[in-house]
Amino acid sequence: MTTILTTLFAGLGRRFAYWGAIIAATGTAVWILIHQGRLAAKAELAIRRADARIRALQSSKDIRHDVQNADRADLERRADRWMRD
């Protein structure tokens, strides 16, 4: 990559071509690192969202199971307590 950039800048002088190639390579490396960081952050966010969804679904399942297995008096007592709060 450096040789390609060096030949592109060869008409402007060897020293300028060298520094131009170094700056271009550094800029490309920084851009790649930023791009990979963004992709990693998006993946981590997707994983966190999926985990939160799984926790919410599990909680909903547990609550639904508790309500279906509770007797009528317990449900009325819970409803009264919930309405008071």
The tens digit of pLDDT for each residue in 23-71 reads 999 999 999 999 999 999 999 999 999 999 999 999 999 999 988 888 8
- Domains of the chain, residue spans: 26-84
Burial 12-22 (b: 16+ CB within 10 A, else e): eeeeebeebbe
pTM of the model: 0.57
At residue 7 the predicted structure's pLDDT band, cuts being 50, 70 and 90, is confident
Cα-Cα-Cα-Cα torsion 46, 47, 50, 54, nearest 10 degrees, comes to: -170
